[in-house]
Structure formats: C-alpha cells, structure tokens
Chain A
C-alpha cells in the first residue's frame, strides 16, 4: 500500500516542474479569490450542446426508461390534454421522491422529451463536480437556489425558455418529508408570466412509496403520472396567486386519481378538492390520513374486444 500511495496522481503531479503543475503564488502577492464553480454557479451550458444532448437521449432511453419501468411501473394519463400544445412548456409537478425526475422525464411526450431541462436544487445536486456533471448530463439539470431568490437562476431559466427549451420543475422546492405535499413556491408561475409560456400541471402518485425521503434503497411499486390542462396567467395575476392556482390544479389531478374525473371536477368547482398538503393533524393521524388517497386502478379490459 505504501508504494501505491507514493504513486498517487496528486503526489506525482506535485513532482512535475511548472508548467506541468499548478504555479506557486509569490509570498508578497494577494491571491485572487477563487471563483465558485459549484452550487448555483455551476455552468451547465455544455450539457445542452449536441454531444451531451445525444448522450442524454441515449441515457434516457437505454438506462432511465428501463429503470423507471422496473422500479415504478408507470401508468401515464392525460396526454390528450396536451394536443396542439407547442413548446416551450413548463411542467410543474408535485415531489415525493428522487424517482420523480426520472419518471417525469421519461413520461414527457414528443416534442417536449428531448429538449428539456430540469430545475434541480443547487445545494443538493451540484455540491461536487461528479454529482453536478451527472445531474447536468443525465437530467439536463440546471442549479436552482432554494434558500434564496437569485437573479442568476431565474435569468438562466428564462433564457432557456426563450430559446425554446421545455422545463421540468418541482415547485414544492424539495421532496415531501411525510408523504403529504408542500405549498408551491412561485418559480414556475413567475417564469410562466415572464416568458409567456404555459404551465402544465402534473401529478405523480406512488413515487413516495418507492423511495421516500430518508430512505436509500428503493422498493419497486406502481405509479401514475397524470398531465393536466395547460394553464396561463390571468391578466394582472400575481405569481403568488398563480402559483396557488397551479397547486390547486395539481390537487384536482390528485383527486382525479383517487376518485374519478367527474367527482374531482365537481369538488374542484366547489373549491373542495382535498388539499395536497393534507389535513392539519398532528402525529400519527396525519400519516394515517394518507391511506385515504390510494388511487383507483384501471380495471383489466373485459372480453371481448373485437
């Protein structure tokens, strides 16, 4: 082991003469402050060039899709609501698990599937070079600051939307801590208003059982992805109000999954769609109430189908 450690790349490089190693800094000179290159400052432009896009398409179809199929067995609904919709579009979904991004990206229909970027937490997916490069390459992710509103994230997202890229965003800002949803933040709504791009609400059900927050080993299960009707901001509508409307739309989709479409519409019109964030209950009763949200699965087709 000792001889091997002597051959470590860092040590070998240190032996090399300049310019084959990093320069030393003269003692009398104030070194330049190091520019942050990770987190929200990670540059993902390379991931949208042709070779990376091609590689991402291969990863999506050859690795991600089979993995999602095995792990999440998705049933996808509501594509008909996207008929006639042109890119760019913002897909705003609820968020329960790390499976969500892969599931949603593999569920996007054409022409949205191969020109899409995902908004990913800068403090989670971009903390080191390997994770950042993997996120940018495999998911087309760009870093979004969760803890504060930064101009950089918004400008980058807006520029990509203006350039015709579609966006996948989880407006809750993070995975559900307890199986219930969280209130939507205003990012998707703001970008939709700023760029004049529609928001498609998406509800994903079942991913929280596969890989909930706090667990490392996935447990395969069944999921359902439901696309909603594209939304646009009303005249003069604030981002906050619009975000609440997007949240309501996702809540109505959740109701559609656990009951039926017409019942969900009746309740949505009456303002009685069950809240995504769950009842204001404490302790075990909040967890217990999750059981009421089980989806109705499509029945097997009956004979004969001539």
Chain B
C-alpha cells in the first residue's frame, strides 16, 4: 500500500533535505522549528494488464458510443497525440501513447478504415524528431504511417492546413489543424502527467495556430489562472473550454482518451531510486548511491552530464485510462491525478524553496536555458497548488539551479534573442507583451525554423515568461542559489551562493525568522493549501 504524501515539520533531528540542482543535487539543512517539507505520495499501484484496461476504456467509453461503433471503412480518422513535452522524463518503452494508439488502430483495422492520419499535437513547440516520434508511437506505427506521409507534426504556421472554426462568446478565435477539423472523428491520445494537461486543452491548444493560442497564452489570462493546475480556477482552462465548445459546435467529433501515470519517476531500485525516498529512510546502499551519483556527475563534462540525464527513462506505471466525451473523461482523469499528487497543507509560508531538476517540458533532449529555469520555477512549480499559493503574497521564492547562460541554438533560437534583447530591456511581462511579442511571433526567420527545422516558435519564450507572470506579480523576491550570477540577474532575480546566504537575503523582505516551506518535487507533488 503506497504511502500518501505528507507535510514534515522540520526539527533538530531532521536530516539535510534533497534539493535538485539541474544535473546535480544539493543537501540543505533547513532551520528547525519554522520549516516544513511537502513530500510527494509514493507511486500508486499501477494497472497490471494495461492492454486489457485500454480495451475496456475503448469499448466502454463515457457518454459516447464504443469506439468500434464510431468507425467505418470510408471515414476520415485522425489520431492526435501529445508531443515530446510529455511525460517528463520520457517513459520507458513502450510509451503509453503507443499502446493506446495501437489499440485504436487495431480497431480501425478491424473496421477496414483506410484514411488514417496521425498528428503530433505540438502547437508552437518544436517538431518531434524521428527518434522522438518512434519513442511516442512505437516502431510499428511509425513504419506503417510515416513513410506514406500519414504521420507528421502539426504545423501551426501552415495557412493551407489550418481551419478557422469561429469565435467564442468572448471573441476568441478558434483555428485548428485542417485535417483534424475535417475528419469524421478525432481520437486524441493524451498523457495527463499533471492536472494542467488534457481536457479541451488537448485539441484547442495542441492543434491550434498562433492566431488562436494568443487568446489564452497571454499575461492577463495567466495572472487570472490561480492556479493553472486547478482547471476550475484557471482562466487558461476556461478559455480552452470555450474554444472546445466552438469546436464541438462546428461539428468536429472528438473521442478523447486520457491516461494518468503514477509517481514512479526514478524507479524502485537502481541508482536514481534514492531521489524518490525520504531522506531519513535512506539506507547505506541509498547513501552510497547518492554519493556516487553526486560525485559521478561532477566528473562529467556538462554535455556528457546532460546526455546522461536526458537518457533516463522513467518506469511510470499506468494508473488510469479513460475514453469518451471530453468533459466526463477529464473529470475522472483529474480525480486520478489529484489522488497521486495532492497533499493537504495548512496555511501559506513566508519563503518557498524548491530544487529545480534537469528537465522541464521544453528541454527534452535539449538545454535548460535561463528562461526555462524561470518558467519551471515560477510557472510550473509555483503553480503546483490548489486553493492559494504555498507562499504568501509578497513572500520569497528560493530556487536551486545552476542556471547556465547557455541555449540550444537549434531548438531555442528565438530564446537567445529574447534573452539578449528583450530581457535586457525589461522583465515586466505586460511591457514585453505590448512592445515585443508581435515582432517575434511574426518574424519570418523564426517561422521558417519552426516549420522546417526543430525550433520552438518565435513567440515561445514570451509564453514561457507569461507562464510565470502570476508568480512574478505575487512574490516579493526571487533568489536562485548556485546559479550563474549574470544570467540570474538578467532574469531580474537575485543570485546567492549558498542556501544560508539566500535566507539572509530573504530576511530583508520577510523578516528575521520567516516560515519556510520546501516543495520536495520531483516526483510530482501538488499542495492543497487551506
């Protein structure tokens, strides 16, 4: 029986606490008597017979006919799936998308469906490479469809292959992939790693164009999404749900398949398993593994270290697979997500600490540049709450990450210019939205790289910054421990060499004896703050 997550009150005998630090780790002693640590729950029991569970979901969907009844030989079927940003880290093969897609295709084969397309729903993310597509859909599906041009990445900048479906009652334009819009049935295969994923966001965001995305990927929406991990309190999701209604009213039929994974990010044994254990339960073997890991990564050159971490494949177990109409499916999915991630926490804190790991949704097989550090900390981890933020308004956020002044030139070309030009001028999201967004979004060179190379869209670094705009508005100070001071200052944050220095710097804002809460993430934990 897996143990649920919980809140540890730090006392004098609490051992130093693990902080992720990019491609490395730190052990930090937190002040006794006024610190607490929010620990994630242990991995929920996975489903034993995954294929049977998938078949059951497809044959007994929620609020719609079983999948075989929706399939006929002369139909247009489009299978869309989440891109390389999910799950994190990538999971051991076979990926759950592959297993679901194969089951769907097997039913399509039984029905004799000839016109099948598969689309990676990546919105403005970079295109997936061949090996990433193979990882997601498996070799069999890849070899059957890609050579015939039937498996491909969504292109949000291809005017000939976008379809305008209308506007919401708030004036939001809805434009999605033409093939998907004109299909008799879209089967969307999702991975709901966190509560933010899935629902109408799958299609309304994953298959959309910039024209459509800008209506919810903006500063105003982000500041009113509190948090975007809680869909019912998230303006981001409200906008996507309105768009979902427009899509439905346009006659687009979606068969949604959502999956949830457990917290088995680092495995139950092996060198990384120690990262998922509670520090006072580390055995001699765990401690030896940790020391070996910590010292081993120090010996590697940065590129080798990055490669070593990026090759890690998580042995995630499937905790649910639900199919059918979007809304009921997503509600059930959220229940399973929260069951794994949610931990009750009483009251807010003056200082929130977090150790940022080596990976975020936008640097899979890539470099975690400073903008992504900001996005992971202030965007994702800060928003890991329901109710109210873990840290009080005007409080301090302390993150650990090396924050190197380094960018992947192929994946993140517009990030480089954003960092050099925009952030040198302003860190205010509203100002950069008004002054610079259009220029980057419509830049022909970025557009060309997005469409033909493996680059994120020109506007993407803006979105990363907006992702943290709620936190920027909420926090009194942000400190990064162990980061490149120049890069940290460019982000508008304060650099600190040690955690003790960071606490000292924070005292200017929150006083001499502040309360501290550490979010022990990953594995994923979400605070239900009352």
Contacts and interface: CB of A to CB of B under 8 A. Distances in A.
Nearest to B98: A80
A20 interface: no
A304 B144 contact: no
A22 interface: no
Give the size category of A's interface with B.
Answer: 20 to 34
B112 interface: yes
B365 A306 contact: yes
A61 interface: no
Given A77-B139, A80-B138, A83-B94, A262 B130 contact: no
Contact of A261 (B112, B131, B143, B411): B143
Nearest to B150: A262
Interface stretch (B102-110, B215-223, B511-519): B102-110
A276 to B, nearest CB: 20
A83 B131 CA distance: 20
B336 to A, nearest CB: 20
Interface in B309-342: none
A256 B139 CA distance: 12
Interface string B127-151: 0011100000011110111010000
Nearest to A296: B143
Contacts of A269: 106, 109-110, 112
Interface string A70-82: 0000000110110
Nearest to B73: A266
Contact of A306 (B50, B112, B129, B138): B129
A295 to B, nearest CB: 11
B140 A256 contact: yes
A306 B98 CA distance: 22
B490 interface: no
A78 B272 CA distance: 27
Contacts of B130: 301-302, 305
A262 B98 contact: no
Interface in A95-110: none
B144 A305 contact: no
A156 interface: no
Interface string B155-177: 00000000000000000000000
A149 interface: no
B332 to A, nearest CB: 24
A301 B131 contact: yes
Given A301-B131, A306-B365, A306-B411, A262 B144 contact: yes
Nearest to B94: A80
B220 to A, nearest CB: 35
A260 interface: yes
Nearest to B143: A260
Contacts of A305: 129-131
Give the size category of B's interface with A.
Answer: 20 to 34
Interface in A256-276: 256, 260-263, 265-266, 268-270
A262 B105 contact: yes
A214 interface: no
B27 interface: no
A298 interface: yes
A306 B412 CA distance: 12
A299 interface: yes
Contact of B106 (A256, A265, A301): A265
Nearest to B138: A80
A262 B48 CA distance: 26
A84 interface: yes
Contacts of B131: 301, 305
Interface in B322-371: 365-366
Interface in B47-84: 48, 50-51
Nearest to B134: A301
B457 to A, nearest CB: 17
Given A298-B143, A305-B131, A306-B365, A262 B109 contact: yes
Contacts of A80: 93-94, 98, 138
A80 B106 CA distance: 16
A266 B107 CA distance: 9
Nearest to A78: B140
B144 A266 contact: no
A260 B116 CA distance: 14
A302 B138 CA distance: 17
Interface string A221-233: 0000000010000
Contact of A263 (B110, B144, B366): B144
A302 B131 CA distance: 10
A270 B114 CA distance: 13
A262 B108 CA distance: 9
A304 B126 CA distance: 13
B32 interface: no
Interface in A32-82: 77-78, 80-81
A229 B55 CA distance: 14
Contacts of A302: 130
Given A80-B93, A83-B94, A306-B411, A261 B129 contact: no
B250 interface: no
A78 B145 CA distance: 17
Nearest to B453: A304
Nearest to A260: B144
A305 B129 CA distance: 6
Nearest to B141: A261
Contact of B109 (A81, A265, A306): A265
Nearest to B105: A262
Contacts of B110: 265, 269
Contacts of A263: 144
A261 B144 contact: yes
A84 to B, nearest CB: 7
Interface of A: 77-78, 80-81, 83-84, 229, 256, 260-263, 265-266, 268-270, 296, 298-299, 301-302, 304-306
8 contacts: A81-B94, A83-B93, A83-B94, A262-B144, A265-B109, A298-B143, A301-B130, A306-B365
Q: What 7 A-B pairs have minimum CB-CB distances, sorted nearest first?
A: A265-B109, A80-B94, A261-B140, A260-B144, A269-B110, A262-B144, A266-B109
Interface of B: 48, 50-51, 93-94, 98, 105-106, 109-110, 112, 116, 129-131, 138-141, 143-145, 147, 365-366, 410-411, 454
Given A266-B112, A268-B109, A299-B147, 18 more contacts: A77-B139, A77-B140, A83-B50, A83-B93, A261-B140, A262-B105, A262-B116, A262-B144, A263-B144, A265-B106, A265-B109, A269-B106, A269-B110, A270-B112, A296-B143, A301-B130, A305-B129, A305-B130
